[in-house]
Amino acid sequence: MPMETINAVLKAMRRCGTTARQIAGVRGREDRRLVLTRLFLLFLPICFQGCAVPRLGPRPSATKDHAFITYWPAGNETGKLRLAVKDVIDMKGEVTTAGSQYLAGTNKPATRDAKCLAPARRGNVHIVGKTNLTEFALGTSGLNEYYGTPVNPLAHHRIPGGSSSGSAVAVASGEADVAFGSDTAGSIRVPAACCGILGLKTTFGLVPLDGVFPLSPTHLDTIGPMAADVPRLVQGMELLNPGFSARYRAAATPAERITIGRLYLDGTDKRIDRALDNALNAKGFRVIPLDDRFKAAWREAQANGSTVAIADGWLSNHKYLGKLGVSLTTQSAIQLGQIQLNTAYKGALKARATWRQTLRNVFEHVDFIAMPTMQTLAPRKPLFGRSALFEARVLGLQNTVAVNYAGNPAIAIPIPLRGRGLPVTSLQLVGPNLSEPRLVNAARLLASRETNPTLENAR
């Protein structure tokens, strides 16, 4: 970024006296970084005078709900699992668009499948299409300016969450039994939370990334399944990690033998915290609160994880700056990554080992860590479309990127919610590396309407 651009942003920030005083009063280096990030996004028009933007009005996607970019309905193929695939995953003969008008017009069809699709090709599976997403997977709102925003079936006026918005909507609306998504900073769990389904972020490195559009391939990127119920989620994991079904059955453990460390985070809607506590207590889990020291470490990991995600977004995607058909909001997110790369990136990567050790220490005393997937219900869609400021707002609501920063697995689980708004919220369970079978078992216990469910009841 040119120095005069940075100076223009800083000059505008200095004029904003109230905000500057707020920054000075923020506790902790990680909180200041988050505030500065949001301020930078507020002044992005200074940085992008003359940048290309997509044409007005979304291009019609393959389905009315904008869940799919390409759609091949199953028809009469009864008995086959209907699988939707996020359009960052290469499929032979198909163009991988990553939700972008630019890539839709310039990319050539893939010459081979992504490696993670191999088990699905061998199984009794019908791929029903490639799903929509936030452009380049750079954003947590799930909005897409070109293909249209996937419609959240729980509430049409609320965001579907992203970036795997099409995958979540395809499952929640019944257009697919299972969907594959990618998760760099919460892109499976956030849309799962917004749309009231299950979403599993896998251990970093468990599922191969060959043939997947990169965002942070060396640090954060993962592929995982999304489904409306546990049996389907197990089928999805079996496709990504053959042999998972047997490991899941072997992991069956009753709730009273599972210890959960409960993390309470500032800014969370009190109704959500109550709903999560009620659900955990009703099933008989042993729950212990985690202390303020761990909460502070979590908050710092959230900030560091965001830094890595944003900076890696620059490293992977800066070649698309100025390209006709790449949205202004996406370009602003990419440009922000250059600032993070030149300032906080090295320090964030260096601090990762300490965070991983902190989690290992906690997992010596508990089986999982529990918290809300998001601090609030899914926000309402913005009146005037996607913007950098709105993306920053949604990013600030997630409790997910600290997990990617460590590389651990985590699952988003829908939990009933009373009162106005949406009928469900979402609980995130974080586990040790390679604990996916045990995480899904815990989801089965929480999803069951029985007080003491058995594995047989969930089949």
Given the residues 141, 164, 182, 187, the one annotated as active site: 187
| Helix, strand, coil % over all residues of the chain, rounded to 5 | 45, 15, 40
Alpha-carbon distances, residue 323 vs 313, 341, 409 (angstroms): 16, 22, 35
Judge whether residue 25 has pLDDT over 60.
Answer: no
Looking at per-residue pLDDT, the higher value among 421 and 424 belongs to 424
65: tokens are 């709900």
Q: Are 300 and 310 in contact (CB under 8 A)?
A: no
Alpha-carbon distances, residue 43 vs 35, 292, 340, 435 (angstroms): 13, 34, 16, 42
Alpha-carbon distances, residue 115 vs 90, 148, 456 (angstroms): 9, 29, 33
Q: What is the pLDDT of residue 166?
A: 98
319: tokens are 């070649």
319 labelled catalytic: no
Least confident of 53-67, 96-110, 195-209: 53-67
Judge whether residue 451 has pLDDT over 70.
Answer: no
100 labelled catalytic: no
The dihedral over CA atoms of 436, 441, 443, 444, expressed in degrees to the nearest 10, equals 150
Q: What is the pLDDT of residue 448?
A: 76
Whole-prediction pTM = 0.88
Percent of the chain with pLDDT over 70: 85
Instruction: Give the burial class of 179: count Cβ atoms within 10 A of its Cβ; 0-12 exposed, 13-18 middle, 19 or more buried.
Output: buried
Give pLDDT tens digits for 138-156: 999 999 999 999 999 999 9
Task: Give the Cα separation of 428 and 414 in Å (integer).
Answer: 9
Task: Give the Cα separation of 242 and 251 in Å (integer).
Answer: 16
Count of C-beta atoms within a 10 Å radius of residue 23: 15
**If phi over 0 gives left and psi between -120 and 50 gives alpha, with beta otherwise, what is residue 434?**
left
Given the residues 61, 86, 283, 426, the one annotated as active site: 86
Least confident of 29-33, 94-98, 416-420: 29-33
* Mean pLDDT calculated for residue range 108-137: 97
Confidence of residue 134 (pLDDT cuts 50, 70, 90): very high
Count of C-beta atoms within a 10 Å radius of residue 415: 21
Domains defined along the chain, listed by start: 1-47 (no CATH), 48-458 (3.90.1300.10)
Judge whether residue 357 has pLDDT over 80.
Answer: yes
Looking at per-residue pLDDT, the higher value among 458 and 212 belongs to 212
Q: What is the pLDDT of residue 26?
A: 39
SS3 sequence, 257-299? HCEEEECCCCCCCHHHHHHHHHHHHHHCCEEEECCHHHHHHHH
Task: Give the Cα separation of 294 and 97 in Å (integer).
Answer: 40
Looking at per-residue pLDDT, the higher value among 41 and 109 belongs to 109
Given the residues 61, 100, 141, 163, the one annotated as active site: 163
Confidence of residue 3 (pLDDT cuts 50, 70, 90): very low
327 labelled catalytic: no
Task: Give the Cα separation of 452 and 416 in Å (integer).
Answer: 18
Give pLDDT tens digits for 26-54: 344 445 555 555 455 444 443 443 343 44
Task: Give the Cα separation of 161 and 150 in Å (integer).
Answer: 9
Give pLDDT tens digits for 258-316: 999 999 999 999 999 999 999 999 999 999 999 999 999 999 999 999 999 999 999 99
| Residue 277 dihedral angles phi and psi, to the nearest 5° | -65, -40
Q: Are 439 and 403 in contact (CB under 8 A)?
A: no
Q: DSSP letters along 307-335, please?
A: HHHHHHHHHHHGGGTT-TTS-HHHHHHHH
Count of C-beta atoms within a 10 Å radius of residue 405: 29
Least confident of 40-54, 121-135, 395-409: 40-54
Judge whether residue 181 has pLDDT over 80.
Answer: yes
Instruction: Give the burial class of 141: count Cβ atoms within 10 A of its Cβ; 0-12 exposed, 13-18 middle, 19 or more buried.
Output: buried
Q: What is the pLDDT of residue 404?
A: 98
311: tokens are 């900076």
Judge whether residue 256 has pLDDT over 80.
Answer: yes
Judge whether residue 14 has pLDDT over 70.
Answer: no
Confidence of residue 55 (pLDDT cuts 50, 70, 90): very low
In 3D space, the residue among 63, 160, 64, 53 whose CA is nearest the CA of residue 100 turns out to be: 53
Confidence of residue 455 (pLDDT cuts 50, 70, 90): low
Confidence of residue 130 (pLDDT cuts 50, 70, 90): very high
Q: What is the pLDDT of residue 214?
A: 98
Confidence of residue 123 (pLDDT cuts 50, 70, 90): confident
Over the chain, what is the mean pLDDT?
Answer: 89
Alpha-carbon distances, residue 397 vs 158, 193, 239, 240, 374 (angstroms): 14, 12, 31, 29, 6
Q: What is the pLDDT of residue 142?
A: 98
Q: What is the pLDDT of residue 34?
A: 53
* Mean pLDDT calculated for residue range 388-401: 96
Identify the three-state secondary structure at position 19.
helix
Judge whether residue 110 has pLDDT over 50.
Answer: yes
